[in-house]
Amino acid sequence: MSGKRYILLVLCGWMFAVSHAQKTDRDYLRSGNKLFGDSLFVKAEVDYRKALEKNPQSADAMYNLGNALMMQQKAKEAMEQFEAASKVEKNKDKLSHIYHNMGVILQSSKQLPQCIEAYKEALRNNPHDDETRYNLALAQKQLKDQQQQQQQNQQNQDKEQQKQEQKQEDKQQDKDRQEQNQQQNQQQQNQNQMSKENAEQLLNAVMQDEKDVQDKVKKQLQMQGRKLEKDW
């Protein structure tokens, strides 16, 4: 390689580096917007992050980065960018867009109370935004339906719990009745056993009395027999 060509290449490289270093946050924003318009969201994200490196307080870069992340289904990261942008943005129209997009993310994740507040904040900054107003009405209806469904589910759970409690109560009552019947049967058996024993005792007593009577009669007869023998 000749010396001239080597110097030329180095100089060209140096000039490119200087040009690259001189790009501003607005340059990266414009580049990112073009990529975003071509649906190249990952590449657009890269440029928006470079814009933020140049200007960390750029609300436009935060907002556009949030949009690029949202298109990639990175809802949590997008929400972080929108929240950051809402703290530094002063333009009401832009604030309306920021809160609108926050509402969209919250609505998609079923965080309806927070979603409704975001849409309301968007309308405070731009009362003429019909799309936000429509989304707000839809979110309010979804919240009402959700609450009604939760109430119905709670009622169903209460009914099921009552059925289970009644079932347990009936089961306990059946158990109590069985125990009561067993006790009554045992008492009846005990009474029958006692009656049988009493009858045997009475019979034995009667038989003993008869034996005693017989013994007395026998003794009397014996005594009378001896007396007759003496008289003769």
- pLDDT tens-digit map of 183-203: 888 888 877 776 777 777 877
Is residue 94 within 8 Å of residue 63, measured between CB atoms? yes
What is the DSSP annotation of 194-221?
HHHHHHHHHHHHHHHHHHHHHHHHHHHH
**Could you read off the pLDDT tens digit of each residue along the chain, which spans 232 residues?**
443 333 333 333 334 444 455 899 999 999 999 999 999 999 999 999 999 999 999 999 999 999 999 999 999 999 999 999 999 999 999 999 999 999 999 999 999 999 999 999 999 999 999 999 999 999 999 999 999 999 999 999 998 988 898 888 888 888 888 888 888 888 888 777 767 777 778 777 777 777 777 777 677 767 666 554 444 3
Supply the DSSP string of 19-45, one letter for each residue: HHHT--HHHHHHHHHHHHHTT-HHHHH
Q: Are the C-beta atoms of 6 and 17 separated by less than 8 Å?
A: no
**pTM assigned to the model:** 0.64
Burial string for 194-211 (b: 16+ CB within 10 Å, else e) reads eeeeeeeeeeeeeeeeee
